[in-house]
Amino acid sequence: MSNIREVARLAGVSVATVSRTLKSPERVLAETRDKVNAAVEQAGYRPNQMAVQFRSRKTGNLVILVPAIANTFFARVISGAQQAAQAAGYRLLLCDTQGREDIEREFAALVYAHQADGVIQLRAYDPFEAPFPNAESPPPIVNACEVIQGGRHPTISLDNRAAAQAMTEHLIALGHRRIGLIKGPKSSPLTRDRVAGYQDALHRANLPSDPALVCHGDFTLTAGYEGAAAMLALAERPTALFCENDEMAIGALKRLKEQGLRVPDDISLVGFDDIPFAAYCDPPLTTIAQPAERFGETAVNMLIALIEKQPIAERHVVLPFELAVRSSSAGCKGQ
């Protein structure tokens, strides 16, 4: 592999001129530029980025911490992030953390090791909060999707509380008074918000909030399947079921059908996220549409601004949701 010295020799100029021709051509005479470019061509020269990065103290890499890569929603977020990173000349270092803080910390530490310039965290945990060696100022990090309440880092989030409230109100408007909720893990703030929104709606409609109607899952198909089973085992069944993501709703749907219940005639079912499959369920799933790709895209752009010390307009971006009403929710007949 040829290096800058080789090119300089071929072009009959100094290495500095070669470097300039590549970085800021306007500072070089057109004539010289041509000589250099010809030499670059001839030598098949490609700057050794390891040396460039080392020298200029910038890797161009962004770490993205994902709880579960194979999750349909996160896959969309990653996709958006990758497009944005590519457009800006950055690369994405992917990390499947399985929601484990030790793994998150380990990967976030790539920034300390100068292997990445910043971190995108998609979960409500600050991988830098643990005492880190000589942590002068926290490294560039943005927190998207599930965000830390009152955290010190920029965030990109959805108003989960408002969204859950909107969904619950949709069900209430349809006449439902017993609405089951299959929520996420207890520890998740995202879940806390959605539960709060659900309760807000009940409260505003003067409906009782029955703890028996709330069970938790882990956002998987299986969790939805089992959550639905639990709901159906209740003495007084809910007439509508709100799952905190579409995967769980699809899992629940299977279970409801197996029990011989028709959706939405016998029970309404709604989800959250609007993954592509939601519209292809039978019946198509009423859900909350989230701009998944935009989470990734916005996070990347914000992180890059942080890294490049550009001014940031808003440190806490809230992306819009949309209630996507399809046929899995309908008027309550049981009344």
Give residues in contact with DNA (CB under 7 A). Answer: 1, 3-5, 12-17, 19-20, 22-23, 27-29, 31-33, 45, 47-48, 51-52, 54-56
Q: Which does 13 bind (CB under 5 to 8 A by kind): DNA, its own copies, none?
A: DNA
Neighbour tally for 83: CB within 10 Å:
15
CA 186/CA 184 separation, integer angstroms: 6
* Cβ partners under 8 Å of residue 194, min gap 6: 160, 161, 163, 164, 183, 184, 244, 272
Name the minimum Å distance from CB 301 to DNA: 23
Closer residue to DNA (CB): 23 or 315: 23
In the complex, minimum distance from the CB of residue 211 to its own copies, in angstroms, rounded to a whole number: 28
| The entry of DNA, its own copies, none that residue 14 binds, CB within 5 to 8 Å by partner kind | DNA
Question: To which residue do tokens 């090119």 refer?
Answer: 7
Which residue lies nearer to DNA by CB, 15 or 229?
15
Considering the complex, what minimum distance in angstroms separates the CB of residue 93 from its own copies? 5
Both tokens of 101, joined, read: 């803080």
Minimal distance, residue 60 CB to DNA, in Å: 12
Q: Is 2 exposed, middle or buried (0-12, 13-18, 19+ CB in 10 A)?
A: middle
Cα–Cα distance, 8 to 160 (Å, whole number): 58
* Cα–Cα dist 78/74, whole Å: 6
Under the rule (CB under 8 A), what is the footprint of its own copies? Answer: 1-2, 43-51, 53-54, 57, 59, 61, 68-72, 75-76, 78-79, 82-83, 86, 91-96, 103, 109-110, 112-115, 132-134, 221, 225, 250-251, 253-254, 257, 276-277, 279-280, 282
In 3D, which of 175, 166, 174, 177 has the Cα closest to residue 237?
A: 177
What's the closest the beta carbon of residue 9 comes to DNA, in angstroms?
Answer: 11
CA distance 74 to 98: 12
Q: Which does 32 bind (CB under 5 to 8 A by kind): DNA, its own copies, none?
A: DNA
Rounded Cα gap, residues 165 and 200, in angstroms: 6
Between 20 and 178, whose beta carbon lies closer to DNA?
Answer: 20
| 34 contacts: CB under 8 Å, gap ≥ 6 | none
Least distance from DNA to the Cβ atom of residue 14, Å: 3
Residue 130 interaction partner, one of its own copies, DNA, none, beta carbon < 5-8 Å per kind: none
Spatial distance between the Cα atoms of 104 and 133, rounded to a whole number of angstroms: 16
Task: Select 59 or 286, whichever has its Cβ closest to DNA.
Answer: 59
